[in-house]
Structure formats: structure tokens, C-alpha cells
Copies of this chain bind each other. A is one copy, B any other.
């Protein structure tokens, strides 16, 4: 179930950036491009009128723009996202999530999650939105949807800032992987929040 399903390339769907030949790449390699996989899945979901989820652009702090060359940015820095990477709408409901991967096999370390993101996710839930994480265990080639409440719980525990793998197995939804969409994560959303 977690391997490409060999489904034929449908010309009507969004052009995949990976060539069909790429599906023979090892599972570990494929797993490394989580962001790209989610972006392509979102294009598929949008194209097929299933859901409308978009990636927030990376915020950039612009220091200097050269207007003599048609607004060329010549000095700028990446800023940390204070919200999450993705949001959108599915069946009228607000959807908000962050996607992360880890090479770790036994737990997901929370080191890269910012306090701002935790505040943001709590607020999403408070306003009736759906908030979760998509976590890819690269080495295991498993991708899970985990409700934000678990992330908040382990984040606020303070001691061991990581979520054990067992929590994903027990409380997460394993996301089916395929060719197009690469990650059937809306199926997982349906299973978790729309039953």
C-alpha cells in the first residue's frame, strides 16, 4: 500500500515534475522530498476539485531593493514561519498543517517547531479549524497525519521534546502513498475528522 500504485499517467492531471521513471527510485530517496510531494498532491486535489490547500510562501525580510534594475532584491534574509506551511479549505472547513520529516526511526524530535507555531495551532483549533502535522519518517518510508493536540501535548511537556514513534502508530493515520497524488493525505483527513 505504501508503494507507488502503478496508476497510469493521466494527461488531464497536473504535470508532475518527476518523470514516470522516477517512481523506481528507492523509497528512502522518494521520501526526502516531502514538500514537493505535498505541493504536487495539492495541485492534484485542486485540479480534481477535491480540496484547495496552498503553501504559504516563505516569509522574507527584505533589506534592499534595486529599482534601477526592475525591482531586483539585492539584500534579504529568510524569516522563520510564524504560522505553518500549509492552509486551505476542505468541505467548507478550515485546514491548517505543518509538514516535517525526520531520519529518526524511534521518535520525531520537536526541535524545529517554534513556540509561535504552537500558539498558532492552538488558535486554529480554538476557532473551529482542523490542525495537524504531516510527519514523514524517511528511513521507514512512512508518512503520518497526527492531530495537532498530540504535538502541543508533547511540546508542552518540556522534558523530552520529541514524540515517540508509537504515538504515531497508535494515534496517527498512516497516509497512503501513490503516484498521483503522491500522498493521499486528504483521505487521512476524511478518516480522522469527517466520520
Which positions in A face B, CB cutoff 8 Å? 46, 49, 51-52, 54, 56-60, 70-78, 83, 87-96, 120, 123-124, 126-129
Cα-based distance from A70 to B126 in the complex (angstroms): 37
Cα-based distance from A52 to B122 in the complex (angstroms): 11
Contact, CB under 8 Å: A77 / B72? yes
- A78 surroundings in chain B (CB, below 8 A): 71, 73
Contact, CB under 8 Å: B76 / A72? yes
Contact, CB under 8 Å: A89 / B129? yes
Contact, CB under 8 Å: A73 / B76? yes
Q: Contacts A73-B77, A74-B74, A76-B73 given: A127-B57 contact, CB under 8 Å?
A: no
Nearest B residue (CB) for A60: B60
Q: Which of B51, B56, B89 contacts A56 (CB 8 A)?
A: B56
Contact, CB under 8 Å: A87 / B90? no
Contact, CB under 8 Å: B93 / A51? no
Q: Which of B57, B95, B127 contacts A91 (CB 8 A)?
A: B127
Q: Closest 4 CB pairs between A and B?
A: A92-B128, A89-B94, A73-B76, A57-B59
Q: Which of B46, B76, B83, B94 contacts A94 (CB 8 A)?
A: B94
Q: Which of B46, B59, B87, B94 contacts A93 (CB 8 A)?
A: B94
- A74 surroundings in chain B (CB, below 8 A): 74-75
Cα-based distance from A128 to B57 in the complex (angstroms): 24
Given contact pairs A52-B126, A70-B77, A92-B129, a sample of 9 additional A-B residue pairs in the complex whose CB atoms are under 8 Å apart: A49-B123, A52-B124, A54-B56, A56-B56, A57-B58, A57-B59, A88-B94, A92-B94, A94-B94
Contact, CB under 8 Å: B57 / A124? no
- Shortest C-beta distance, A124 to chain B (Å), equals 6
Q: Which of B54, B87, B92, B123 contacts A46 (CB 8 A)?
A: B123
- A58 surroundings in chain B (CB, below 8 A): 57, 60
